[in-house]
């Protein structure tokens, strides 16, 4: 059964994941400035899973996944790897990284109602209030995006779609846990989830030159070793340990780090709407993740 609170070790892992994934939004923006989205994500997933497989092989750790678990693995990989990665890439390509990170990290707004319905995790008054605040933040950003882009709100829609896909994938991970060693399962998730992306890169980016500048190359390396090889492993470990509502705390500081990173490294200046949306989203997730859940009544 999932724990209702994080242990000291889980908080440390969560802090590292929050910081490293927050910084990755700037790396992603830099990488996509010179590398096509399909190619960028294909390299990240293939190399990221390769790093994990190599580490496991060197350490003589188990790599196999039982045949009975492959259906679950493919389903979870589709939402958390295939859909998430491509929707995020296209969203970041079209939006400032700060706006994209706020939109993408609203996934608990979608995950918590699904967890309450499908996993029968109880929904508290605080969680309902959090959902209202989160949706208000989404509406604020989408409104600004529509005003700014008018006829092309593709970036905002991609970012929101990514949030929905990640939320669904998180609940699926809880509903259908995969009975396999964590590190090996993570490597297989990335490799299998990347198959549609490898095919897409071969078709869509067939003319990609393959010669990237220094900054995009460094951004690509950061994604491979940090955001993918470590990040996916840490995420799965946390999801397996705590409830969906408690895990949502991992979203609290990631948008803040992402926006601050964009300001420092990319010279982005958040608008009043972006700051307002960020405050609403953080307030929503704080209500959901930091509530004394054990004392609240089930709705």
With cut-offs at 50, 70 and 90, classify the pLDDT of residue 3: low
With cut-offs at 50, 70 and 90, classify the pLDDT of residue 263: confident
Number of domains, the chain? 1
Q: Is the pTM of this model over 0.85?
A: no
* 296 pLDDT more than 50: no
Domain assignment of residue 247, yes or no: yes
Task: Write out pLDDT tens, residues 234-249.
Answer: 888 887 776 676 666 5
Domain assignment of residue 2, yes or no: no
How far is Cα 280 from Cα 278, in angstroms, rounded to an integer? 5
Total length of the chain? 299
In this structure, what DSSP letter does residue 242 have? B
Structural domain boundaries, residue 238: 8-293
Domain assignment of residue 298, yes or no: no
Least confident piece of the model among 167-171, 188-192, 198-202, 245-249: 245-249
For 8, 56, 179, 207, 251, the CA distances from 228, given in Å and listed in that order, are 23, 15, 21, 26, 17
With cut-offs at 50, 70 and 90, classify the pLDDT of residue 43: very high
How many beta carbons lie within 10 A of that of residue 144, not counting itself? 18
Would you put residue 270 in left (φ > 0), alpha (ψ -120 to 50) or beta? beta
Domain assignment of residue 1, yes or no: no
Cβ burial of 122 (10 Å; 0-12, 13-18, 19+) is middle
The whole-chain average pLDDT of the chain stands at: 82
Average pLDDT over every residue of 154-171: 89
How far is Cα 227 from Cα 92, in angstroms, rounded to an integer? 15
% residues pLDDT > 90 (the chain) = 34
* 167 pLDDT more than 80: yes
In this structure, what DSSP letter does residue 60 have? T
First to last CA, the chain: 20
How far is Cα 90 from Cα 158, in angstroms, rounded to an integer? 7
């Amino acid at each position: 059964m999932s724990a209702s609170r994080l242990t000291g070790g889980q908080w440390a892992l969560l802090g590292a994941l929050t910081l490293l994934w927050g910084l990755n939004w700037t790396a992603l923006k830099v990488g996509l400035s010179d590398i096509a989205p399909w190619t960028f994500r294909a390299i990240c997933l293939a190399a990221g899973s390769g790093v994990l497989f190599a580490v496991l092989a060197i350490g003589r750790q188990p790599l196999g996944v039982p045949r009975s678990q492959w259906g679950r693995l493919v389903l979870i990989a589709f939402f958390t790897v295939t859909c998430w990665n491509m929707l995020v890439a296209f969203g970041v390509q079209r939006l400032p990284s700060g706006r994209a990170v706020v939109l993408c990290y609203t996934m608990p707004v979608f995950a918590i109602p699904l967890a309450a319905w499908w996993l029968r995790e109880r929904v508290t008054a605080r969680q309902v209030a959090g959902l209202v605040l989160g949706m208000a933040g989404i509406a604020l950003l989408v409104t600004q995006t529509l005003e700014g882009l008018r006829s092309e709100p593709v970036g905002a829609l991609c970012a929101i779609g990514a949030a929905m896909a990640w939320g669904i994938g998180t609940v699926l991970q809880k509903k259908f846990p995969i009975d396999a060693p964590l590190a090996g399962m993570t490597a297989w998730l990335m490799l299998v989830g990347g198959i549609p992306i490898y095919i897409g890169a071969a078709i869509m980016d067939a003319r990609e030159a393959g010669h990237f500048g220094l900054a995009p190359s460094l951004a690509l390396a950061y994604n491979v070793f940090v955001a993918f090889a470590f990040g996916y492993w840490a995420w799965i470990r946390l999801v397996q340990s705590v409830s969906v509502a408690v895990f949502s705390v991992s979203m609290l500081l990631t948008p803040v780090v992402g926006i601050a990173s964009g300001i420092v490294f990319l010279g982005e200046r958040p608008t009043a709407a972006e700051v307002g949306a960020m405050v609403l989203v953080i307030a929503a997730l704080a209500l959901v993740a930091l509530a004394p859940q054990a004392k609240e009544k089930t709705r």
